[in-house]
Amino acid sequence: MAADDHTRWHLNDYVINDYMNLIVERDSSIYAYDTFFYTRLIASGYNGVKKWTKKLNIFSKSKLLINKLGFGHWVLVCVNVPQKQIYYYDSISHFDVYNCLNQICTYLSNEHSHRLGNPLPIEEWDVQVPGNPMQNNNIDCGVFICMFAKHLSLGAAFNFTHAHMWFFRKLMAYELGTNRLIPVDVETTTINVEMWKTR
């Protein structure tokens, strides 16, 4: 694939942020970090990002969505606060998983101490890399993390494959254009692609 094709089809941070905002607008119990958060965390440590949630107690939220971009590839970390779970979703590889999860655990511990005045027993949390659908090219990672985030926000299973990505691109364009999410059917393991072919 040519470099210009990669640039054309690779979702940028603005699209990712806008889509995460749609998820948050639908469910205010979820908090989505800006796509620059993780980069700043790595570059400047906790002191560089603690102001980002100055007026927010993140531990009052149901889920925290953290998008990470590294070497042109998007991954998603979902923190389920009530369930004490930190899950890492990557549609192509897991080469930086240990470092990423360690950074997030350290951040959460620091945030808990700073905001709530007591340490977070992070050793009691479930930190893992669960199974997820995988991509078979190098351009769809942004679509994958948006769909991971959407399905997680709805409590829906990952009932899709790489074959659905073109459909999801059109669906995302529709959702962003109309400023509303189209719910997935959490009671089925199929996706009604036919319904969207004429839209």
The active-site residue, picked from 78, 90, 140, 151, is: 90
Both structure tokens of 93: 């590889």
Asked if residues 150 and 171 have their Cβ atoms less than 8 Å apart, the reply is no
DSSP track, 135-174: -SSSS-HHHHHHHHHHHHHHT------GGGHHHHHHHHHH
Closest CA to 63 of 44, 42, 86, 43: 86
Q: Clarify whether 90 is annotated catalytic.
A: yes
Catalytic residue among 78, 100, 141, 146: 141
Catalytic member of 73, 112, 140, 151: 73
Tokens 């691109």 correspond to what residue? 169
Nearest to 199 by CA among 182, 184, 187: 182
Nearest partner of 163 among 176, 151, 178, 147, judged by Cα? 147
Active site residues per annotation: 73, 90, 141
